[in-house]
Amino acid sequence: MKIKRIVISALILTCGFTAVPQTSKKALSAHNKIHSEQLANAKSRMDKNVITNMLREDIAKKEEHTISEESSKMISDLLSEAHRYIGRPYVHGAKGPKAFDCSGFTSYVYRQFGYTISPSSRTQYTEGTNVERNDLRKGDLVFFTSRRSGKNVGHVGIVVSADNESGDFKFIHASVKGVKVSDFEGYYLGRYVGARRIITE
């Protein structure tokens, strides 16, 4: 009888001990599930925040670069004026309208619309506001080094069209071959310095 009680007690203890791991596994599984859900919810909130911030930045960026209808019309007229001088010869130090050097050309064209900018390309590079290449728009001034300027600004032109996705653009300028429209390629690729915006409103 005593032996029977001992055996029964042993069985009860064995069953009790084997039940603990099963309970622990269920609890662990439930905890992991809750943890996974919490992570998913946190990620969802983070994703929403990231998307919201991106949209806000995009809207702010568009608002920053939006110009008035009046300024847009002025830029269009400015480019039409610039195109009038295509073919005019390049003469170092010439300020137009019969001949131009690069900065003489840009300062002359802008002056026709009430904007006084320096006849020096290096000084023009300090005027207006800075513009990233992927934010260029028509009318912006683009600057390059030249064969004689070393690493300093030595040439300038006016953007006539821009592809903000690729960063490519076309610009009108007084080159050594006269006033012409050029693509941002070849010679100019490695000489690009930066851009400035004169008409900001």
The residues annotated with a catalytic role in the active site are 102, 155, 173
CA-CA-CA-CA dihedral for 163, 62, 158, 82, to nearest 10 = 100
| CA–CA separation, 15 and 58 (whole Å) | 64
The H or E element containing residue 149 is none
| CA–CA separation, 154 and 148 (whole Å) | 7
Pick the closest to residue 100 from 182, 159, 162, 155 (CA basis).
155
* Count of all residues that appear for the chain in the document: 201
* Token pair in block for residue 35: 């943890």
